[in-house]
Structure 1
Amino acid sequence: MSSPGSSSSLKNIVYITDTPVPTTPQPTFDYHSLDGSEQAICSHSWRAGFSSMSTPHVDRLNVIARYKERKLGKNIVLFGKDVEADANSRSNVRQMFDGDLLIHGDLLECALDFTFSSLGLDTDRVQHPIIMTERLANPLFTRGMTSELLFEMYGAPSVTFGIDSLFAFSRQRHQDGLSISLGHNATTVIPIVGGKGILSNAKRLPWGGAQAAELMLKLAQLKYPAFPVKVTLPQATFMYRETCYFSSSYEEELRSLEDSEKLAAMTTIVQFPYNQPDVVEKTEAELAAAADRRREQGKRLQDMQSKMRAEKLTAKINELEEYKSLLAQRPTMKKSDFLDQIAETTPFDTEAELEVWVKRTEAEVKKKQKKDMGEEVEEEQPVFPLADRPDEELTEEEIKEKRRQRLMRAGYEARVKIREEKRVEKERQDEERRKEEEERLSDPAGWAARLRAEQDAVIVRMEERKKRRSQMSNRKSAAAQNRMKTLANLAADTPPSKKRKKGEVDDGFGRDDSDWAVYREMDGEDESEAEEEDQTLLESLESRLLQHDPNFTEDETMQGRAHAKNALINAFVRGATSHRFDPSSPEQSHQLHLNVERIRVPETWFQPSMFGIDSAGIGEIAGWVLNGFEEEQRRRMMQCIFLTGGCTNLPNLSIRMRNTLTPLLPFRAPLKIVTSLDDGNPQLEAYRGMTEWASSEEAKKSRVTKAEYEEHGGEWLKEHSWGNIPPF
């Protein structure tokens, strides 16, 4: 794969690397190294470890691949990143959850087997209490499925369930607050009063990191439909985590991006891996030698062509002299012998054909000789001696020659007429330029205004013509429908026979050129000619304005207007970089330019309706939850607005949350927004809260033992500060 190339000198480049395949297995924890004190096994988003561990021993993606290896003939089960081992494993990836709802107990069993094995549990049953997180308002059947598996299969002594965002909040040491968790599949807002979650006032938004990654993938696919490689969901997840940020004021920033320069400034380039083709670079000496060879070869070709033209001209002259000498023998020979001589020595049948060829060839030879000498070639006035003689005085052969001469005279007169019309037109144009120059010198402002008005009119005509062509290409457009109606009407009015019957009156259609406009309108015959005329006129107008009008710039030309119109699109798609996009460059072809997407994807948490979710944003939800409490209680809760979850790693979330909450809460009320502690990794905040809470007396009282499970069933749970409320 390629390494960063020339584009590395540009702004903000993020490199997508191939998904690394683990080369070493998950290390097994030395279970016997634990001290004799009681250790709980904590699990969260498939991060697991003993309560004495500050970081989880198992931290893997919650995906599983089960398939049969054909070569080995064995059933293979892979967990986490190991599913990227080969194509078979990648094609068999499954999840135990549908969104954040557990539905596949068999996959949960595989994940638990891997976890207990990695933790070094080599006993017949699990001898440690287990604490696991669950979703807000988790259905009873999913909790029962998990409890049954832990108690029946693994023989766990006790199981405790809690909500991850509340475990994370427990580390803040606040009795009152608001826990906002931006999770993988959902976002929850839970108020805490007196050190206990008030789940009756809790709210859930069905949008999380997984949906944000999917949205980023769809936006990238929509923006680059012909991208050379398939963008995967893990790559989209990487792009949204590395490039996105919360806008402090989304509407204002979006409006500011109407400026192509600002849009280009915020663009981040995502470089995908590509194979660099082998290119042999030549030295300057080799390039110069190649250029010399090309010039020498071109000169040789020119010399060869000149030599061939000279040889053809010499052969033509020799043939002409031969035929002229033959014509000079005519007075000394009988007419029959002379005609026999012509038939034997020339390709002609008559004397008249030979004379015509000699005269035409002699004129061509003179033209070529003058052209080779660089002299101006003027057409000589031809002579047509038989054109005006009556047919009674001519023989049959001379009558044929008379017809040919009359055609040649008509062509000559037409050429003379065209030259005269061109001369008159040139004089007219010279006169118009003289008058325009006088107008420009006497009234520069009026002259410039008139030319600008003409330029606008030409541009309007060209745009309307382009629009009409676009409409005609669509058979359902109004223009195409009108054309078909016209054709149908003409077909209905046309008589079945092309010949007019005797006595039928001619309607005179076609005598006037305007009669044929209907056909030109239907077929578009004059479109290209009119387009060329308008283009020539536009270039003339703009060149004169650029030369003489100091207020007219390149930006006001048609090309400049089109460039300004497309500058925003260019900045949106290609970032408006100083490097011109080269489709043949594999490096540039494997680049995604992200700009508006960087703020559009995170904005969904605050405006879910933008992407079809019928819900308020987290800012409005948080404000509604806080305003549901009494003033004094709300004031205490506003001192700990806690943000947790992996998606809180995106920049500016606290700023945006403050800007959204401030108008919704009492005027000038003190507001404190906090995030994760320690190393600033919010993804581990819930796990660490679980490990700290596991040794508390409340945790011990909240355990559901195996005896209670056997008596009450798997749906049984005990209420505690950080868990779901029992449904009974």
Structure 2
Amino acid sequence: MPFISKIQRQTDYRRFPSSTPIVIDNGASYFRIGWAGEPEPRVIFRNIVQRPRHKVTGETVTIVGDHDVALLRYFDCTRSGPRSAFDNNVVYQFEIMEYILDFAFDRLGADGSKIDHPILITECVCNPFQSRSKMAELLFDTYGVPSIAYGVDAAFSYKYNQHHGVCNKDGLAICPGFMTTHVIPFIDGEPEYKGCCRTNIGGYHITDYLKQLLSLKYPHHMARFTWEKVEDLKMEHCYIALDYMSEARLFQNGTKEAEDKTRSWQLPWVPPPTEEPPSEEEIARKAAIKEKQGQRLREMAEAKRSSRINELENESHGLEFLLKQLEQVEEHDIRSFLSATGYVSRKEVESALLKVTQSLQKAKGEQAEFEEKPDAERFHLLNKPDHECTPEELKMKKRQVFLKSTSEGRQRAKQKRHEEELERERRNQQDEQRRSKNPELYKEQLLAKYKDLSEKVEQRKRLKTNGGQTNGNNISGNVGRGERLNAAQRERMRLLTTAAFDRGKGEDTFGARDEDWQLYKLMSKDNDDDDEGPDADEAELARLTSRLREVDPTFVPRSENGNSQSLETPRTRPLTEEDFRIDLGVERFRCPEILFRPNWVGIDQAGLDEMAGVSLRRLPSKSIELEERLTSSIFLTGGSSLFPGMSERLEAGIRMITPCGSPIRVVKALNPTLDAWRGASAYAASPQFPAQTFSKQEYYEKGEDVVRRYQFRYHVL
């Protein structure tokens, strides 16, 4: 699929003769291309490539540079993020570079793949030979370029501003770029490469650092901190502090000056709709709908009940008819007669009829009344001795013993529940009488009783957990294994440890007598106080809690840790407009500070001011006069030099590393981002430019030695 971009294609490519060079500023951040002699580049775009797939067709599309964000919703970008051809400031991914050059020549207006114009392309200072050779091979073999010239972007910017009187012939060029920062000394208008210095810090790291800080500060809005938006925030709000510690102290103390320096970015926010109470008509409508649904459910239940009754009546009639037929059948012919029905005896048919009749009465809502046999008939084998019973009767006797004990247990439980219900009603009546006489006193008594009982339950839990050993402030001490045991477990441990020495002999004779083994029976006994007491107290505590909720709607029960807690689930606070406001305070100057302190982001290298001193010390011919000439014309270029306060901070830093009284003058380029291309454009338009190029024939004849020995001269500008 073709490239996607918002950049319009140029239409005057044919008007330029083949002798007119094409000027390319191949920066790590932006790619600029245009014609020699023109003041502005024709095409500018971000130097990145992205190749997502279409969500419907699966076709891969190539997106170079800037793109329409709304268009990307039709593509899957999860597997293909933006990619750059640069490693720091050196081109190393020439497959991506080919995509970028294809797009650049296409936007410039070239119709075919062959480019008949000489090319002047910028590179970083001291560019590795392998990168320069690969670039020449790409331009010669792929595009058929007749000749190429390489030049340093910072040198073109310096010479362009020197021509306009901004800087001197001797000076120090500092170029904080997108991925790296370079310092280049210029002597008599030519760069002195032996004194160059480089640090792997630039605008990319500032943007990444700001993105991290904002994501940590506002984690709920992390998806909104896209790279493009954070880049815009950096260029719009960040600045260089003259004294970082003093500036940070202002924000730490929260002074009025710090509030004035804070900037805000308001995210889109829509107020939530206010919920109005439903009207009477709406309430009546919902009630009617609910009643209609309930009526429908009742009709379905009634229909199911009627169907069940009809099935049971039909089954009952069939069993009755079968019994009538069995009355006319001989006893020895019953089994063969019932072979087709699934029954084997008359007793089994009668039992089935009894179950069906019970189910039918239950379905009709009638109370099934069956005469239960007395216990003497139901459990007639209980009084019969075992030696008089047959093996079948012994099995039946065991079953009758189990059934009788179960029946008696159910009767006792039912009687206990009935008594508890009567006791509960009596207690509620007494409570109601006390409450009616004096409500305030009754509530106070309930609260006091609730407080005492809750403290008792909590104290028992602490004793059970910590073994009952607490200090004077009811705070548990050490929590060793022995302190985590309850009272019953501690008693068992005491019996075990003292069993062998209970006679006072000091000898381990435990187990020699049969009475010693009775100890295990004593250890196996459960402590009724430990088991039943807590259950009763907790039940009473639950009853008091329920009663207090009825008496006092504002009552809040105590939690397990003794603090009050709300019965309702805490609701989240509704989001307001302030929750969607991003405040930029200390981040405004903290992020650009890494240009002077790269170690903040894990780069153990020198800052801008230190790099200037390193570059001066590397000069082969050092003298005080030369250093004064260089420091009197410190030139700033590159995109990261646009921060406010950069010149003042750099001048203060260099003044601290130079001799006292040294003249220091820091100047900034006319346009730090475009002056490199403008200087290259002016150089390519001069008559001396063809002498600075090497042709395709020379490259094919002499090979890579041409690129290795190639060196550009800037004396023309």
Give the TM-score range, shorter chain: 0.5 to 0.7
Match for residue 125 of structure 2?
Answer: 136
Q: Deviations over 1:422-481 (max 9, x none)?
A: xxxxxxxxxxxxxxxxxxxxxxxxxxxxxxxxxxxxxxxxxxxxxxxxxxxxxxxxx999
Note the 1:579-618 alignment, pairs <5 A.
584-585=574-575, 587-618=577-608
Tell me: CA distance 1:527–1:134, structure 2 relative to 1, closer, same or farther (3 Å).
same
Q: Which residue of 2 aligns with 1:18?
A: none
1:719: which partner in 2? 711
How far apart in 1 are the matches of 2:229 and 2:577?
18
Equivalent residues, number: 469
Pairing 1:115–2:101 present: no
Structure 1 residue corresponding to 2:42, chosen from 57, 70, 73: 57
Shift of 1:644: 0.7
The 5-angstrom pairing of residues 382-401 of structure 1 reads: none
- Aligned counterpart, 2:64: 79
**Distance in structure 1 (CA, Å) of the matches to 2:206 and 2:77:** 22
Secondary structure of the corresponding residue to residue 595 of structure 2: coil
For 1:228-627, list aligned pairs within 5 A: 229=223, 231-262=225-256, 263-274=258-269, 276=270, 279-280=273-274, 371=438, 483-484=479-480, 487=483, 494=490, 496=492, 584-585=574-575, 587-626=577-616
Q: Is the 8 A contact 2:692 2:713 kept in 1?
A: no
RMSD after superposition: 4.4
Is the Cα–Cα contact under 8 Å of residues 242 and 645 in structure 2 kept in the other structure?
yes
How far apart in 2 are the matches of 1:126 and 1:37?
11
Q: 2:626 aligns with which of 630, 633, 641?
A: 633
Instruction: Report the residue type matching 1:699 in the other structure.
Output: F
Q: Letter of the 1:161 partner, please give it.
A: Y
**Is the Cα contact below 8 Å between 2:683 and 2:689 reproduced in 1?**
yes
Aligned residues of 1:698 and 1:720 also touching (Cα < 8 A): no
Return 5+ residue gaps in structure 1 as ranges.
Answer: 1-20, 291-346, 348-353, 380-410, 419-478, 506-524, 533-581, 724-728
Q: 1:139 to 1:586 in 2, by over 3 A?
A: farther
Give the whole-Å Cα distance in 2 for the aligned partners of 1:248 and 1:367: 78
- Partner in structure 2 of residue 164 of structure 1: 153
Q: Deviations over 1:609-631 (max 9, x none)?
A: 22221112111111332355311
Q: Distance in 1 between matches of 2:616 and 2:231?
A: 32
- Superposed CA deviations along residues 547-588 of structure 1, whole A, max 9, x for unmatched, are xxxxxxxxxxxxxxxxxxxxxxxxxxxxxxxxxxx9532643
**CA drift at 1:663:** 1.8
Would the aligned equivalents of 1:125 and 1:156 in 2 still touch at CA under 8 Å? yes
What's the CA shift string for 1:617-651, capped at 9, x where partnerless? 11111133235531111222223211111111111
> Deviation at 1:40?
3.5
Alignment correspondent of 1:703: 693
Post-superposition offset of 1:686: 0.7
Indicate yes or no: 2:100 matched with 1:104: no
Aligned-partner Cα distance in 1 for 2:608–2:652: 12
Give the Cα–Cα distance (whole angstroms) in 1 for the partners of residues 487 and 610 of structure 2: 66
Task: Write the letter of the residue equivalent to 1:592.
Answer: I
- Distance in 1 (CA, whole Å) between partners of 2:222 and 2:169 is 54
Match of 2:663 in 1: 670
Q: Secondary structure at the match of 1:86?
A: helix
Give the distance between the partners of 1:56 and 1:184, measured in 2 at CA: 19
**How far apart are the structure 2 equivalents of 1:481 and 1:97?**
64
Tell me the residue number matched to 1:181. 175
> What secondary structure does 1:604 align onto?
helix
Aligned position for 1:196: 190
Matched, 1:225 2:214: no
- Give 1:196's aligned amino acid: E
CA distance in 2 between counterparts of 1:98 and 1:236 reads: 22
The structural deviation recorded for 1:180 is 0.6
- Displacement, 1:172? 2.4
Distance 1:53 1:701 in 2: 21
Which residue identity does 1:266 align to in structure 2? Answer: K
Equivalent position of 2:471 in the other structure: none
1:314-373, CA deviations, whole angstroms, 9 ceiling, x for partnerless residues? xxxxxxxxxxxxxxxxxxxxxxxxxxxxxxxxx9xxxxxx9xx99x9998787556548x
Contact 2:262 2:584 in 1 (8 A): yes
SS state at 1:270 partner: strand
Secondary structure at 1:214's aligned position in 2?
helix
Counterpart of 1:26 (choices 1, 4, 8) is 8
Distance 1:593 1:378 in 2: 52
Aligned twin of 1:569: none
Cα distance in structure 1, aligned partners of 2:255 and 2:597:
27
Q: Give, in whole Å, the separation in 2 of the partners of 1:361 and 1:142.
A: 94
Rate the CA distance shift 1:674–1:722 in 2: closer, same or farther, 3 A. Answer: same
| Alignment equivalent of 1:646, drawn from 639, 649, 666 | 639
1:656 matched to 2:642? The reply is no
Q: CA deviation at 1:215?
A: 1.1
The 5 A counterparts of 1:2-21 are none
Given that 1:184 and 1:209 are in contact with CA atoms closer than 8 Å, whether structure 2 keeps it comes out as yes
With structure 2 as the length reference, what TM-score do the two structures score? 0.57
Equivalent-residue separation in structure 1 for 2:154 and 2:476 (angstroms): 61
1:645-674 Cα offsets, whole Å, 9 max, x none, are: 111111110110111111222222222111
- 1:55 CA displacement: 1.4
- Asked if structure 2 preserves the Cα contact closer than 8 Å seen for 1:177 and 1:641, the reply is yes
Residues of 1 paired with 2:428 and 2:122: CA distance? 102
CA deviations over 1:227-281 (Å, ceiling 9, x no partner): 363532223222222221100011222233320235444332233345x255258
Query: What is the identity, as a one-letter code, of the residue corresponding to 1:685?
Result: D
- Give yes or no for contact 2:172–2:185 (8 Å, CA) kept in 1: yes
Q: Offset of 1:100 from its aligned partner?
A: 2.1
TM-score computed with the length of structure 1 as normaliser: 0.56
Taking every aligned residue pair, what percent have the same amino acid on both sides? Answer: 28
Q: Is the 8 A contact 1:165 1:181 kept in 2?
A: yes
The C-alpha deviation readout for 1:658-694, integer Å capped at 9, x for no partner, is 11111222222222111121xxx31111111111111
Change (3 A) 1:182 1:494: same
Q: Which amino acid aligns with 2:672?
A: P
Aligned-partner SS, 1:256 = helix
Given candidates 26, 30, 33, the residue that maps to 1:48 is 33
Does the aligned pair in 1 maintain the 2:139–2:145 contact within 8 Å? yes
Q: Is the 8 A contact 2:598 2:607 kept in 1?
A: yes
Q: Deviations along 1:174-227, whole A, 9 cap, x unmatched?
A: 311111111110000110011111111100010011111111122222223343
Q: Would you say the 8 A contact 1:195–1:721 is kept in 2?
A: no
Secondary structure of 1:689's counterpart equals: helix
- State whether residues 53 and 77 of structure 2, in contact with CA within 8 Å, keep that contact through their aligned partners in structure 1: no
The answer for unaligned runs of 5 or more in structure 2 is 163-167, 281-414, 416-421, 453-474, 504-557, 565-571
Change (3 A) 1:587 1:696: same
Larger radius of gyration: 2
The code of the aligned residue for 2:212 comes to K
Which secondary structure state, in structure 1, belongs to the residue aligned with residue 591 of structure 2? helix
User: Do 1:44 and 1:687's aligned partners in 2 also have CA atoms closer than 8 Å?
Assistant: no
Equivalent residue for 1:38? 20
Paired AA for residue 202 in structure 1: C
Aligned equivalents of 1:491 and 1:133: distance in 2?
86
